[in-house]
Amino acid sequence: MQDKSAEAQKIKDAEQAFDRKRRTFGLIFGPIFAAAIILTPIDALSLEAHKLLAIMVLVSIWWITEPVPIPVTSLIGPTLAVITGAIPVGTAFASFANPTVFLFMGGFILAKAMMMHGLDKRFAYWLLSRSWVGSNPRRIFLAIGLATALCSGWVSNTATAAMMFPIALGLLNSIKEMMAANGREIDLSEYKYATGLMLMTAYSASIGGVLTPIGTPPNLIMLGFLDSMQNIQVSFFEWMIWGFCAMVFYFFIAYVVLSKMFPPDVDKIDGAEEFIRSKRDELGSWTRAQKNTLFAFMIAVILWILPGFMNIFLGDSSPLLKMYNKLFPEAVAAMAGALILFLLPVNFKKREFTISWKEASAGIEWGTLILFGGGLAMGGIMYKTGLSQWLGDLIVAAMGGSASQVVLVAIFSVLALLLSELTSHTAATNMIGPIAITIAVAAGLSPVPVAVGIALSASLGFMLPVSTPPNAIVYASGYVPITKMIKTGVYIDFIGIAFVTIPIAIWLVGLIVG
């Protein structure tokens, strides 16, 4: 056991040393590379685009190496663009008030209320207590994954993983106690099923994020780029069709790989049903706050998906649909659901409502909103100054003057995946999204497939603890050797890219858009 602890500490020390070197490298060489770009004559670029290229080099290097927090870097880019005269201040910071930012904000407030009042736990325990789950370890494995993925479609991946983590630990302790009662002592850090259950919890949290536009930042970032750069609007309902298909296939791949690599060695987990039942009973009966939260959440969901059904039954040229989209765009739907929470009373005599501003603001991931706004700002500036067009022309020329939809989707999907393994998937999407969309347009192709491919691929960061917060959460348990995470992550990442991301991005999206 001491050897395992020493090995874990050695790995942790190596990771910390690498992070220090990475940050130091970025801090020193980011400005040097940016200065080198600005001093290099590029006749094909306007002065504004040339300045912006140098700024983008600095921002990209700092997004990857993180010498300062990623949201700070997202503010540095637009600020430098104004200081250098590349773009006016109003244009530089307009994207921070983009409607998509408020769609995210409304989603954060709704998610905070769901977590604060235990609505997410109520759903998770309800699913785990179904009769088909029982004490069967394979079915428990499946149910943990399903509960995590479905919650993660609406609540932050990190928050969902943090919620499901102690549930998974409790089930593993039940296994340990059962084994001890039968005269067999096990070390969970070396127990295959424990590793598999931890990885299933982490991976399902990331997989579930692809279900809805608000499930994970890369989805909304790419939809925001399509809207701001090409005036292409993808509805909440449309994304859910693609996202549901992707989630189902990703989940199937993860379940098969993990269940084969980390099978249970028992047919029944004594105490599992009692553990879940006791946790469910602790929640008690439905509270007024839970009912209010469910009502507000359902209002937002109905407003989000109603246009999809109206489009099916009335047609996209329906005056009623056009009026609805004008009055209830998705950002307004999100804010309507969130704002209702401040009006629905829990105890009116004491003027207590479902959520307070202090509670709501604590649930808003301000760093993510800033990063999202900064990414949209830099993407918009690249497009307006012609920088993205220049980069797109260079890449298309390097590809022989033409590019196919398959090649573009494959290249940028793999690039998004690799970057997401090494840095924030939000930052990775911000870096390559504008370039990919511009290249698709320059090649005479629809930018939607490549945008969807990037968004889906950015959620497949399964190889390293630093790739996603859910990975880091389960790695901290000590039950997941890093070699196992890398091995399973490689399998699921590239099987997912080859058999899910690329086909969905090309055929399904092409079918719907075309």
Which of the pair, 267 or 29, is modelled with greater confidence? 29
154-166 pLDDT, tens digit per residue, is 888 888 888 888 8
pTM: 0.85
Given a cut of 80, whether residue 9 has pLDDT beyond it is no
One DSSP character per residue, 305-374 reads HHHHHHHHHH-TT-HHHHHHHHHS-HHHHHHHHHHHTTTSEEETTTTEES--HHHHHHHS-HHHHHHHHH
pLDDT above 50 for 464? yes
- Of all residues in the chain, the percent with pLDDT exceeding 70 is 94
* Separation between Cα atoms, residue 405 and residue 452, nearest integer Å: 12
Report the pLDDT value the prediction gives residue 1, as an integer from 0 to 100. 47
pLDDT above 90 (res 83): yes
Instruction: Write the single-letter amino acid at 205.
Output: A
pLDDT digits (tens, 9 = 90+) for 221-259: 899 889 888 888 888 988 998 899 899 999 999 999 999
pLDDT tens digits, 262-293: 888 778 877 778 888 888 888 889 999 999 99
- Give the best-scoring range by mean pLDDT among 117-121, 338-342, 408-412, 481-485: 338-342
CA-wise closest residue to 150 among 135, 160, 138: 160
Q: Does residue 72 carry a pLDDT above 50?
A: yes
SS3 state at 150: helix
- Distance (Å, rounded) from C-alpha 213 to C-alpha 178? 42
